[in-house]
Amino acid sequence: MIMFNRRYSKTLYRFFILILLSSIYLLKDLLLTLKIDSSFNPTHIITPFEQSLLFPVYGRIKYLGKASRIFIINLPSRPDRRTESIALMQTLDLQASIVPAYSIHSPDILILNRNRNSLFFKLTELACWASHMRVWITIVNKTFSENCNTWSIIFEDDIDLEIDLPYIIQTIPYPIWNHADLIYLGHCANPPGKLIYETSKHMYRIHQALHPSCTHAYIIRSDAAKKLVKLLSKPSRPIDDSIIKLVNDRQLVAYSIHPPLAIQKAVSKTNPSDVNKTNRQSWIYRIRFAIYTFLHWWNGVKIHNKLQKSAFARANLTKAKSWRLKYEKEIWKNYF
């Protein structure tokens, strides 16, 4: 009888935990939108980039497959990352435009912060959302003026790239360009879905993206940028989580390249994160990282800490810094 009561208690306890977790999951979307004012549209505050804000990096390669523009999002207060981004582009001989990211001190972000749900959405994540949104709005604005559908590549400034990236992207067949909305060059927590295409020369595969977390490197169609500007106009969660929801709801077609052509460089004292300012020596971080690693293993996600052939390992930072100091405009030193 006592054994029966103990088993019954354990079963009841597990049932209670299951109900609790299910309730939290079901209420998550409601909680994320608690503070959103339906009459307020944040995208009305965000304007396309003026030409004076673009910091061009010149290279011989201007097109990658169907992608005709490369944007690199960089905080003006991080000249170290700007130098590294320039060095990457110079190493790969790519033409790109470095664009200013929003910081938590930007006037537009301070306005948007009035409607932020502080429970689940950090101020740094709001600034990240606004930075990507501004690039999308710029793409949409340019596409509208030229009356055409184009592709663009968006990089964040904390990445390393595969040295063969230009050649691999050039080999992506046209049917994929015609069908996809987003192609992830780098991704996190993303197990490979259905195989779409496999290269014979470079041993890379294109899969359906199942959980394309992280936005450090992706190719986007201008029609998809227009869709994201509309659907994500009222931010309530990190931007990569918002995109994952759209992918899961089949409102976006997303592919990812495996193994990735881009990875985020490790966070350190000399390379601090601008979004997740976490003490990596704390027990809380270590527990979260252990859970994160376990879930990767459980879902069949391979963790890539390095590339096969790193472009950054071949980059000339001294040359890139000299080039930056010579051509950098004053606006990058004074921009919020």
What pLDDT is stored for residue 165 in this prediction? 96
Instruction: Find all residues with CB under 8 Å of 257, minimum gap 6, and list them.
Output: 168, 183, 184, 185, 204, 205, 206
- Residue 34, both tokens: 């608690």
Residue at 266 is within a domain: yes
- pLDDT value at 279 more than 90: no
Give a yes or no: residue 1 inside a domain: no
The CA–CA distances, whole Å, from 335 to 15, 53, 78, 106 equal 54, 9, 12, 9
- Please say if the pLDDT value at position 285 is more than 60: no
Instruction: Check whether 27 has a pLDDT greater than 50.
Output: no
Q: Is residue 101 part of a domain?
A: yes
- pLDDT at residue 330, rounded to an integer: 77
CA–CA gap between residue 206 and residue 155 (Å, rounded): 19
pLDDT above 90: residue 190: no
Q: Which residue has the higher pLDDT, 154 or 143?
A: 154
Domain membership of residue 28 (yes or no) is no
3-class DSSP state for residue 100?
strand
* pLDDT beyond 50 at 257: yes
The mean-pLDDT minimum among 14-28, 32-46, 76-90, 315-329 falls in: 14-28
Q: pTM surpassing 0.85?
A: no
22: in domain: no
pLDDT at 18: 43
272 upstream amide cis, omega within 30 of 0: no
Among the ranges given (30-39, 80-89, 230-239), the one the predictor scored with the smallest mean pLDDT: 30-39
**pLDDT tens digits, residue range 148-165?**
789 999 999 999 999 999
The pLDDT mean for the chain works out to 83
Domain that holds residue 254: 42-328
Looking at the structure of the chain, the number of domains it has is: 1
Q: Is residue 37 part of a domain?
A: no
The predicted pLDDT at position 5 comes to 52
Q: Pseudo-torsion of CA 317, 168, 140, 274, nearest 10°?
A: -40
Confidence band of 293 (pLDDT split at 50, 70, 90): low
Does 263 fall in a domain? yes
Q: What is the pLDDT of residue 184?
A: 97
Give me the pLDDT at residue 319, please: 97
**Residue 74 belongs to some domain of the structure:** yes
- Looking up residue 189, the CATH number of its domain turns out to be 3.90.550
